[in-house]
Amino acid sequence: MSRPVDERTRQLQAPSTALVTKHAEDPVQDLANERKRASFSSQELCYFLNGGKEKVERRAQFAEVLSKTSWASKEQQYFHTREEEYVHNLRCSLGIWQKMTSEKLSMDDGLMMRTLADSPGGLELHIGMFMPTIMSQGDAEQQAKWIPPCLNLQIIGTYAQTELGHGTFVRGLETTATYDSASQEFILHSPTLTSTKWWPGGMGKTATHAVVMARLILGGKDHGPHAFIVQLRSLADHMPMPGITVGDIGPKFGFGGVDNGFMRMDHVRIPRANMMSRFSKFSPD
């Protein structure tokens, strides 16, 4: 609570204030002065470093738009609990996605907004790994089946490669995909503790599906790692599918809004068509 200051006190303090303010600089004005003294245009340098005038102006427009939304606000960024950060960042991701959809904006525009918002959440691997993997490793039929529900957020994916005992040493992965010719299905299985999928973003709470990297086993022969689409959670109630054990790995240093998760599979069957087939075809026989 403030209190009245008497005149004598003000007079005693005045020389001290004058001594300090005599050489004090206004940071805003100081920066403006330095820019004026430069031998080049700081604005042109900005354009050069950031991809051109059009991109800089586009970025400024999005910054203005985002500043007026509640879901892109950074006011409480460092005061959220982990759960609050997850919810806020997911709301931000969905806000950007809705804006892209309603205004028919490009993926580059969406990436620019995500960079400005700086609120990584449960959709990071859906956007950055799940869809790109289907586009790059799926054949035309698989792309036609999976990409539309991805874009409509009817399903949300993640990328399950890293394992607890192997990191991203792909040749050392222990998750297996064994073919059952009678049912034309693959049986995906986590045979060891170290084969537990560990760390995929969005797996902890958000994802309904995953691209799973597993070693393809045919007749006892190991054909190396291949990519398979596996449903993790029910689209009706978001509960884990039969044979799937999945959850959040818990607190981390940073990226609290991203629900990094773990996943184990107990003889989970998937259709033959769920193996990414752009480069590796698998016929019924």
Q: pLDDT per residue over 3-50, tens digit each?
A: 889 999 999 999 999 999 888 888 899 888 888 888 988 889 999 999
Report pLDDT for 1: 67
Q: What are the extents of the domains in the chain? A: 43-119, 128-274
Q: Is the pLDDT of residue 220 over 90?
A: no
The span from the CA of 168 to the CA of 164, in Å, is 9
Q: Is the pLDDT of residue 148 over 90?
A: yes
The average pLDDT across 190-210 equals 97
Q: Is the pLDDT of residue 147 over 90?
A: yes
Report pLDDT for 25: 83
Model confidence band, residue 143 (pLDDT cutoffs 50, 70, 90): very high
The CATH number of the structural domain formed by 128-274 is: 2.40.110.10
Dihedral sign computed on CA atoms, order 255, 57, 66, 42: positive
Contacts of 39 (CB under 8 A, 6+ apart): none
Q: What CATH architecture is 43-119?
A: Orthogonal Bundle (1.10)
For the chain, the C-alpha Rg in angstroms (whole number) is 27
The average pLDDT across 205-231 equals 95
The identity of residue 274, as a single letter, is N
The phi and psi torsions of 156 (rounded to 5 degrees) equal -130, 125
Report pLDDT for 281: 82
Report pLDDT for 23: 84
Report pLDDT for 36: 87
Name which residue leads in pLDDT, 195 or 42.
195
DSSP 50-119: TT-HHHHHHHHHHHHHHHT-STT--TTTTT--HHHHHHHHHHHHHHHHHHHHHHT--HHHHHHHHHHHT-
First to last CA, the chain: 83
Query: How many CB atoms lie under 10 A from the CB of residue 127?
Result: 20
Average per-residue pLDDT for the chain: 93
pLDDT above 70 covers a percentage of the chain that reads 100
Name which residue leads in pLDDT, 168 or 96.
96
Contacts of 187 (CB under 8 A, 6+ apart): 176, 177, 178, 179, 180, 267, 268, 269
Model confidence band, residue 157 (pLDDT cutoffs 50, 70, 90): very high
